[in-house]
Amino acid sequence: MHIGAGHHCVRDLLSFFLSFESSSTSFESTPPSSSSLPKDGSNYFQARYESLLNMYHSHFVTSENEKKNYTGNLKAAIDSFPFPLLPLNCFCFCFIILIDCEHFFVQIHFLFCLSFLFRQIDAFCNELLGLSLSLFSKEAFLSIIISFPLLVFNRNFHCRYFFLLKLPNVSQIFVFRFIEMDHFLKLLPKLTPQLRKGDCGKIAVIGGSLEYTGAPYYAASSISRLGADIIHVFCTPDAAPVIKGYSPDLIVHPGMSASSILPKLPRMDAIIIGPGLGRNPSLWPLLQELFQYVKKEEVPFVIDGDGLWFVSEHIEHFPRQMVTTVLTPNIVEFSRLCKSALGEEDVLKIKNNSQIQHLAAELSRKMDVTIYMKGEVDLVVTPNGEVSKCSTDSSLRRCGGQGDVTAGSLGLFLFWAKKNPGNDWTSAHHEAGISSSWLVRTAGRRAFEKHGRSMNTPMLLDEIPKLVRDVETREMKDIVHTDSSKH
């Protein structure tokens, strides 16, 4: 089959790529220049197709059987693919444009993110097959003009990336993007008959006081709904019966002394301190002992809410090399930390996101700890300067308690992420952070869509089971909008 510059319909193209499936030609990692591009395009397209399929296999398909199924299903789906009769809003194109300046050669890489089609193939619209098509600039820009409004304005699109890149190897970009969309699913542990009680997580939430009983409950409840086995809440004696009354699921320990809490911690897989903790100065010795324990034992550790207030107040005593620890400030808590650690005044007046990101990176470096900064865009910043951003659509309500869900879920995700072989603490922090952000934002958005301004945190929590189920059964339509970069 001859592939001309943009004159073939998508169906023909897909068939064309598939017809090379059994061939053994190896992938050339750099795109050809205009002069080396074969006249009929066959070798180039064949190599591109194979590389993309291989990438797909190595990142999403683990067994040979799955591989066969995937390819078989793909073929069947393509045979019945009704393009161009399919209504345009059933799919979206994602373009990656690669400009090879030397030869003024423009390639357009189409990603067919066909939620409609791909739900049939693998029932998970995050799983994309990238197809490449080389065009010359005239057709390229024509395609952009047609597709850009669809990408930007149609809310049904599940993928809205639009890149203009000058990069030598587009395949790396594909891999990078696909992996990031899949964090949440990757972290969920497989449920097998061999599991014992506790294998999916024994998590401690330290917080809860007379004034604040909701916060530790929200954190603990999110952990429970995500699938941890045992959740312990350590709180003041007057808060204990109230928290217990919210849910028989939680094991509630009254008493906030180090001597009563620390002996119970060796059984815990992750610890979250701060939601609803209160600011009683008598709690500081507990925090100090806890920091030492966490540092020595390398337990996943999240500091949120009033825990961050204590850190700001005693910044000179916050230990270094807390490699397992993530601080989860909102903007007010962040400004307090910046003031005490960096001497920065007036952080609350900063409206520019990149300035906030810059400060978060500085804070992370100075305190030698990971910062998960909550806001319009969530940032995960590690001391080595790596930044992950998550801007998945979220609720428009800023009701109290959403950050407690972030803290709780993050603690559990840290435990799961670190259990994944090959993850060091830095990558575990990024993976867990993105997953937690995605969870809170997506559950919040769903709750907001149902309840509007009456939405509150219990409603967000109620969305979690369905969300987890949707991801697991691969019926999920929401895509994570994330980005990672070196700062």
Q: Which of 48, 481 has the CB closer to ligand ATP?
A: 481
The answer to whether the beta carbons of residues 312 and 339 sit under 8 Å apart is yes
Candidates 440, 460, 464, 468; binder of ligand ATP (CB under 6 A) is 440
Determine, following the binding rule CB under 6 A, whether residue 312 of this chain makes contact with ligand ATP: no
For 126-153, b/e burial (b = at least 16 CB within 10 A) is: bbbbbbbbbbeeebbeebbeebeebbee
Q: Which residues of 154-165 are buried (b: 16+ CB within 10 A; e: fewer)?
A: eeebbbbbeeee
Contact 392, 442 (CB under 8 A): yes
CA distance 303 to 322: 11
State yes or no: residue 276 binds ligand NAX (CB under 6 A). yes
Instruction: Answer yes or no: is 395 a known binding residue.
Output: yes
In the block, tokens 């400030």 appear at 329
Q: How far is the CB of 413 from ligand ATP (least distance, A)?
A: 13
Q: How far is the CB of 237 from ligand ATP (least distance, A)?
A: 23
374 is in an annotated binding site: yes
Of 49-57, 242-250, 281-289, 324-332, which segment contacts ligand NAX by CB under 6 A?
Answer: 324-332
What are the Cα distances from residue 137, in Å, to 2, 6, 297, 472? 20, 11, 58, 42
User: Does residue 269 touch ligand ATP according to CB under 6 A?
Assistant: no
Residue owning tokens 């005044």: 345
Supply the minimum distance, in Å, between the C-beta of residue 32 and ligand ATP: 43
* Residues 189-218 within binding reach of ligand NAX (CB under 6 A): 212-215
How far is Cα 352 from Cα 218, in angstroms, rounded to an integer? 31
Residue numbers 327-386 binding ligand ATP by CB under 6 A? 330, 374-376, 378
- Taking CB under 6 A as the binding criterion, the range among 277-285, 287-295, 342-350, 402-410 that sits at the site for ligand ATP is 402-410
In a 13 Å sphere around the CA of 88, the CA atoms on its Cβ side amount to: 10
Q: What is the 3-state secondary structure (H, E, C) of 390-413?
A: ECCCCCCCCCCCHHHHHHHHHHHH
The site map against ligand NAX for 389-418 (x = CB under 6 A) is -----------xx-xx--------------
| Nearest distance from C-beta of residue 440 to ligand ATP, angstroms | 5
346: left (phi over 0), alpha (psi -120 to 50) or beta: left
Q: Are strands 202-206 and 230-235 parallel, antiparallel or unpaired?
A: parallel
Q: Is residue 300 a contact partner of residue 269, using CB atoms and an 8 Å limit?
A: yes
The nearest distance, CB 449 to ligand ATP, in angstroms, is 14
Q: Is 10 annotated as a binding residue?
A: no
Q: How far is the CB of 305 from ligand ATP (least distance, A)?
A: 6
Under rule CB under 6 A, residue 317 binds ligand ATP: no
For residue 214, the partner it binds in ligand NAX, ligand ATP, none, with Cβ less than 5 to 8 A by kind, is ligand NAX
Q: Map the footprint of ligand NAX across residues 331-370, applying CB under 6 A.
A: 331-333
Question: What are the binding residues for ATP?
Answer: 374-378, 394-403
Instruction: Give me the residues that bind ligand NAX (CB under 6 A), please.
Output: 212-215, 275-277, 305-306, 330-333, 400-401, 403-404
